[in-house]
Amino acid sequence: MKALIYSDLKTMTLGTRPIPEPEPDQVLLKVRGTGICGSDMAGFLGLSPRRQPGLVLGHEAIGDVVKMPTAAPDYSAEWPFQIGSRVVVNPVTPCGRCLACRTGKVNICESWNLLGLDNVDGAFAEYVCIRAANVFPLPDSLPDNRAVMVEPLANGVHLFTLITGSAPGSLVIYGAGTQGCLMLSLARLLGYRDIAIVDLNADRLEVAKRLGATHLINPRTADAPAEVRKLFPGGADVAVDAHGNQAVRNACVASVRKGGQVMLLGLHEGNSQVDFATVVRNEIRLQGSYAFTEADFARSKALIESGDIDLSPWTETLPLEAGHEAFTRLTTDPGAVMKIMLTV
Ligand SMILES: [Zn+2]
Ligand SMILES: [Zn+2]
């Protein structure tokens, strides 16, 4: 089968792989399309230690079931799909045994695996195997280029479940890429009305404006935390870091009010020096957010199906053959594109 292989640093090559043989509890999917994720881009750039050359990347997959699992489901029900069903993939396969798994927090499982990570080939290929419990049928009314956002949006759904307090207050989002814009759309749905968004990319700020951001801040021309404090006296209630480096982490701390919350999603850098004196004195809550639970994924799918969140005007579809060009463009000059889906 055709597969897009991460063959070397900043290099994607179209090659071939044998069609994978599913385990008894897996389905074989004929891939329709797979979105390029920020974490795939990190791999391409050599910034993701668990994505090494030789691997097929990709986990944001839509496909058709071509082989059913041979093991029966562990509950007395039929699988909710059949041969030919078009499904979206939850790429996170948790161990099911650790304390996190047994308390429903599969996103922080001790030993999960993910499509397109470590030694598990991903979905930039014609076929992929995935645990049968991880595929969910899609309604005919939902096109692939909208369904491809179910997995990315689940990250934002999870992040918002970790914000404490009930009434939506003022919010600043650092980063107007895919995650930033999805979280902006989600925040609007949740009732946030004062939303500032910060990005260096003017095209992406325009997209954010269309999606309902009330204030656009470009750090090329303004000091972002000072601007946030002008808009929201005392600082924002919540800052979201959708980028994840030292400058943005500190900008988030400097943007929230006393008692405010900083939600950390981006993982551009591992270590950062952060102004902890301000964190302590201002009683700022720092909260990491990582991936999503099965409940978050289900909620995300419902939101995408309802049409309430739709980034398809900024979603591009390209053939797998254009994979190298797509990765190169997304990691150098993405413009207003929020997602590229590679089709087989
Ligand atoms: Zn992803
Ligand atoms: Zn586990």
Annotated domain spans of the chain: 2-152+292-343, 163-288
Which tens digits make up the pLDDT trace of 243-267? 999 999 999 999 999 999 999 999 9
Ligand nearest to the CA of 111: 2
CA distance 133 to 311: 27
Ligand nearest to the CA of 122: 1
Which DSSP symbol is given to 318? E
Q: What residues pack around ion ligand 2 (CB closer than 5 A)? A: 94-95, 98, 101, 109
Ligand nearest to the CA of 94: 2
pLDDT at position 108 is 97
Long-range contacts of 244-251 (CB under 8 A, 24+ apart): 244/268, 244/269, 245/269, 245/272, 246/272, 246/273, 246/274, 248/174, 248/175, 249/274, 250/274, 250/275, 251/174, 251/198, 251/219, 251/224, 251/225
Domains 2-152+292-343 and 163-288 agree in fold: no
Which tens digits make up the pLDDT trace of 187-214? 999 999 999 999 999 999 999 999 999 9
Please tell me the distance between residue 141's alpha carbon and the centre of ligand 1 in angstroms: 23
pLDDT of 166 over the 90 cut: no
Q: Which fold has domain 2-152+292-343?
A: Quinone Oxidoreductase; Chain A, domain 1 (3.90.180)
CA distance 98 to 104: 10
CA distance 42 to 242: 14
pLDDT of 12 over the 90 cut: yes
Residue 157 in tokens: 């759904």
pLDDT at position 201 is 95
Please tell me the distance between residue 102's alpha carbon and the centre of ligand 1 in angstroms: 24
The percentage of the chain sitting over the pLDDT mark of 70, rounded to a whole number, equals 99
Asked if 170 and 330 touch (Cβ cutoff 8 Å), the reply is: no
Domain 163-288 part of CATH 3.40.50.720 = yes
pLDDT at position 101 is 96
Q: How many residues does the chain have?
A: 344
pLDDT at position 72 is 74
Residue 127 in tokens: 């076929």
